[in-house]
């Protein structure tokens, strides 16, 4: 029997992907872990009543701990976020002592606060070198930088409560050589209608979860350019038409959370909403999700047979919502989407160099400030809807991914301290290999103002080159593949190289300067 502890918070991006429903988030981990006899021995989870990207000290929150008698997480304290963090520190000390005593074998962390509410736990985990799995790009980068034994680390974009729980337990079971088969579905939840459907409507969460569909579109576009494979062009057109269906299915699933029933409703609504583009698909899917919960509840109250309940909730909900969009809302939704894209195109046409420079200079402040996932990524997907690639998507790749890769590479080649090379290596490999995890550069940026300024400058230069070459592209793909998915292979490759080289050189000089200053200080102290 292995014992695990779960620590963290509802997070910023995580809040939109399950964090605002802490019981379900923690419950899914409990379902997966208990299926292989992984015992939960401690919980310290701070659930804010809003995304951490925009909270204040007086934002209300709830602290969850582990009820050993009931063998489930339980709310133990409510108050302002500041008060909850103070209370959570008591749980932090208790779980840290369990780790020190050897009664906890692993940690699951989500959007943690390694230098605050989770400081003692992380410190104890580092000292004992117990395996850690978790999500939250910023926090995981910090945890790794402290020397923790992280065996699984990722951001939260595109994840769900279930996929996160499965990935956590899979990694731990692989570490301990335990056979594990994921549990899909929870018998206790089956047939229930979760309250608060309106609160689960979150546009950016829907868009982010739909990202794989857009990447597939970009891949088909790239493959269709290969000589002899031009016959894939109709497939590209077909995929463009299918994007509203993807968006609708995701929207219905997130809003209703009724598993297959909500997916069927979303697909039906999406098919009927295609003329409204991805905005029309989103409206249709949200409407279908709301109707699924309403009709499901009513049919249960009317004591319809379960099969009939599913047919009505899934079929009628999708049809009604889809027909409303088809006959009434599709033209308005299409007009809105076209005007967003037209605004971007107008700015780029006015001065592509200036547009690229401004976008590059602002993209790091945007992601650090929580604006990226709220505004930039949805616009990227709107751009990709028609052409399979995007101006802002190209800036994302050259200004975030490649700059982060350059910073981490410099800390591999010439770190300020030897331990930083070990921290930087995984971040560099993930950025280059998968086009994501830009947060790997945070520890180095936040600890050195020159590196921070160099990141912004490098992103500005790379963005300017995107404008000069009139590049359209995307991130979230391997760096070697990214130019192939763009409209200008050479131009995108040069822009990417500029972001990497510029940030690499600046970070290299910053590290050398910092090392000299440190050595000089030591000599003066010794003298």
Distance CA 413, CA 85 (A): 38
Residue-level pLDDT at 240 = 81
Q: What is the pLDDT of residue 409?
A: 95
Domains and CATH numbers, the chain: 2-176 (3.40.50.2300), 200-337 (no CATH), 351-526 (no CATH)
Q: For residue 176, how many other CB atoms are within 10 A of its CB? A: 14
User: Which pLDDT score is estimated for 41?
Assistant: 93
Tokens representing 209 are: 């979860």
pLDDT tens for each residue of 498-517: 999 999 999 999 999 988 87
59-86 pLDDT, tens per residue?
A: 899 999 999 888 899 999 999 988 999 9
Query: How confident is the model at residue 161, as a pLDDT?
Result: 77
Q: What's the pLDDT score for residue 158? A: 54
Higher pLDDT, 299 or 1: 1
Contact 144, 112 (CB under 8 A): no
Q: What is the overall mean pLDDT for the chain?
A: 85
Give the residue ranges of DSSP H helices in 41-160. 81-101, 119-128, 137-145
Per the CB < 8 A criterion, the answer to whether 58 and 83 are in contact is no
Q: What is the mean pLDDT of residues 234-255?
A: 87
Edge-to-edge strand list for the sheet holding 131-135: 72-80, 60-67, 38-48, 2-9, 106-110, 131-135, 149-154
| pLDDT, tens digit (0-9, with 9 covering 90-100), for 144-196 | 999 999 988 877 775 667 767 877 888 899 899 998 876 654 444 433 334 45
pLDDT band at 268 (very low <50, low <70, confident <90, very high): very high
Give residue 257's pLDDT: 66
Residue 98 has pLDDT above 90, yes or no: yes
Cα separation of 280 and 274, whole Å? 7
Contacts (Cβ under 8 Å, ≥6 apart) of 1: 37, 38, 39
User: Residue 321: its pLDDT value, please?
Assistant: 94
Span 366-386, pLDDT tens digits: 888 877 776 777 788 877 877
Pick from 71, 59, 113, 107: nearest CA to 88: 113
| pLDDT tens, position by position, 286-331 | 999 999 888 877 776 676 655 576 788 888 999 999 999 999 988 8
Tokens of 310: 């599913």
For residue 208, is pLDDT > 80?
Answer: no
Percent of the chain with pLDDT over 90: 43
Distance set, CA 343 to CA 379, 387, 397, 466 (Å): 11, 16, 21, 18
pLDDT at 6 over 90: yes
pLDDT (tens digit, 9 = 90+) per residue, 138-150? 888 899 999 999 9
pLDDT band of residue 429 (cuts 50, 70, 90) is very high
Closest by CA position to 337, among listed 256, 250, 252, 240: 240
pLDDT exceeds cutoff 70 at 57: no
The dihedrals phi and psi of 215, each to the nearest 5 degrees, come to -65, -40
pLDDT band at 397 (very low <50, low <70, confident <90, very high): very high
**Assigned token pair, 307:** 């099969």
pLDDT computed for residue 159 by the predictor: 65
Q: What is the pLDDT of residue 300?
A: 62
Structure tokens at 168: 């956590």
């Amino acid at each position: 029997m292995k014992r695990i502890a779960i620590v963290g918070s509802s997070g910023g991006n995580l809040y939109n992907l399950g964090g605002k429903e802490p019981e379900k988030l923690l419950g899914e981990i409990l379902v997966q872990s208990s299926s292989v006899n992984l015992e939960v021995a401690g919980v310290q989870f701070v659930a804010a009543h809003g995304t951490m990207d925009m909270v204040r000290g007086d934002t209300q929150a709830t602290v969850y701990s582990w009820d050993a008698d009931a063998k489930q997480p339980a709310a133990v304290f409510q108050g302002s976020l500041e008060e909850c963090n103070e209370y959570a520190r008591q749980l932090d000390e208790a779980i840290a002592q369990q780790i020190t005593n050897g009664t906890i074998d692993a940690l699951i962390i989500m959007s943690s606060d390694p230098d605050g509410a989770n400081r003692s736990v992380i410190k104890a985990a580092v000292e004992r070198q117990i395996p850690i799995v978790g999500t939250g790009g910023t926090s995981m980068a910090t945890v790794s930088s402290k020397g923790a034994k992280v065996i699984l680390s990722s951001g939260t974009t595109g994840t769900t409560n279930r996929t996160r729980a499965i990935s956590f337990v899979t990694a731990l079971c692989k570490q301990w050589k335990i056979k594990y088969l994921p549990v899909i579905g929870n018998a206790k939840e089956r047939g229930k209608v979760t309250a608060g459907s309106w609160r689960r409507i979150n546009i950016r969460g829907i868009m982010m979860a739909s990202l794989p569909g857009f990447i597939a579109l970009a891949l088909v576009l790239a493959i269709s350019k290969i000589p002899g494979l031009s016959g894939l062009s109709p497939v590209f057109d077909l995929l463009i038409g299918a994007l509203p269906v993807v968006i609708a299915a995701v929207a219905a699933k997130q809003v209703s959370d009724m598993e297959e029933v909500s997916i069927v409703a979303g697909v039906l609504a999406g098919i009927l909403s295609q003329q409204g583009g991805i905005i029309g698909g989103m409206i249709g899917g949200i409407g279908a999700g709301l109707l699924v919960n309403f009709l499901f509840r009513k049919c249960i109250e009317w004591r319809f047979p379960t099969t009939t309940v599913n047919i009505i909730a899934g079929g009628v909900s999708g049809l009604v919502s889809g027909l409303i969009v088809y006959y009434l809302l599709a033209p308005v939704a299409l007009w809105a989407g076209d005007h967003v894209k037209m605004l971007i195109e107008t700015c780029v046409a006015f001065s592509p160099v200036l547009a690229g420079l401004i976008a590059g200079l602002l993209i790091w402040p945007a992601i650090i400030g929580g604006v990226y996932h709220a505004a930039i990524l949805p616009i990227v997907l709107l751009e990709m809807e028609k052409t399979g690639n995007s101006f802002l998507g190209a800036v994302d790749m050259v200004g975030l991914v490649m700059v982060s890769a350059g910073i981490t590479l410099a800390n591999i080649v010439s770190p300020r301290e030897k331990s930083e090379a070990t921290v930087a290596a995984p971040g560099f490999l993930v950025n280059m290999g998968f086009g994501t995890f830009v947060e790997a550069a945070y520890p180095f940026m936040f600890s050195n103002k020159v590196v921070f300024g160099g990141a912004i400058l490098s992103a500005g230069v790379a963005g300017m080159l995107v404008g000069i070459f009139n590049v359209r592209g995307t991130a979230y793909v391997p760096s070697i593949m990214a130019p192939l998915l763009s409209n200008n292979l050479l131009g995108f490759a040069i822009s990417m190289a500029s972001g990497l080289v510029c940030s690499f050189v600046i970070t290299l000089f910053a590290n050398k300067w910092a090392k000299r200053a440190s050595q000089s200080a030591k000599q003066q102290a010794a003298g």
